[in-house]
Amino acid sequence: MDDRAFARYDKFGRVLTFGRTNLADVAATDAAQHLNKLDNVIKALDRSKAGQQGGDATPKDVLLDALRLDVQNITRTAHAYAQDDPAFATLFRAPTQPNPAALTTAADAIIALLVETPTDDAATKTAKAARRAKFVAKGLPADFAQNLAADRAAINDAEQTENNADNEGVKNTAAIGRLVSDGMKESNYLDAIFHNVYARNAEKLRAWLSASHLERAPQREKKPAPPTPPTPPSP
């Protein structure tokens, strides 16, 4: 299990502990069934990570979840800007459908508006920098656009890995991805329940937000390319 998957696994444990500790607060809801499903996900993750060989591969579903969070943060911020600049928000559109293809399409469109390429002219680079500055001014990290591009590229790498390998470790990696997706689904249900129940209880809501937050996994440094061997002298 890699850093991204482990961050979600850690979140699931905190959500489960908080939910069961405060179950009386949500007794009138169906939170108990979501907590039970989340508990089953955690136990299945424990089994799958034990059978995962190597542990370096990142499940594609985990990468899609990270990309989804990136896109949500950007489009939410753009929507806030729409209050004063409607045209700005139309540039950064949320996925049209809740599926991976729509998500990656939306991410690609956003990356094209924010991330500089070697072929960009000076005016285009200036425009992209100005757009990034707007998001940073509203609290996104300075490298948010690079993180988005890195998460998008990682999905392509994961697809290539899945296409080129079919061993037991890869199977367990894929299982971890599906389980993480299931866990995020149950966490999202619980997030809605606790937000609704604690809408008038600021202290309890803060405690829930602390328990359910998701840490962004640190970006791993890319290995430097090997040096080009010197050209042998002409005879």
Question: Tens digit of pLDDT for each residue in 141-170?
Answer: 999 999 999 999 988 887 776 665 555 555
* 74 closest CA partner among 23, 120, 139: 139
Residue pointed to by tokens 């405690």: 207
User: CA 57 to CA 168: how far, in whole Å?
Assistant: 12
Stronger pLDDT, 30 or 157, i.e. the higher one = 30
pLDDT digits (tens, 9 = 90+) for 182-228: 999 999 999 999 999 999 999 999 999 999 998 765 554 444 444 44
Tokens of 121: 């002219």
Q: Whose structure tokens read 């542990």?
A: 55
Six token digits for residue 78? 């753009």
Instruction: Provide the residue count of the chain.
Output: 235
Residue 93 in contact with residue 129, Cβ under 8 Å? no
Find the helix packing angle between 60-81 and 144-164, rounded to 10°: 150
Question: Domain-by-domain residue ranges, the chain?
Answer: 1-53+167-217, 60-165
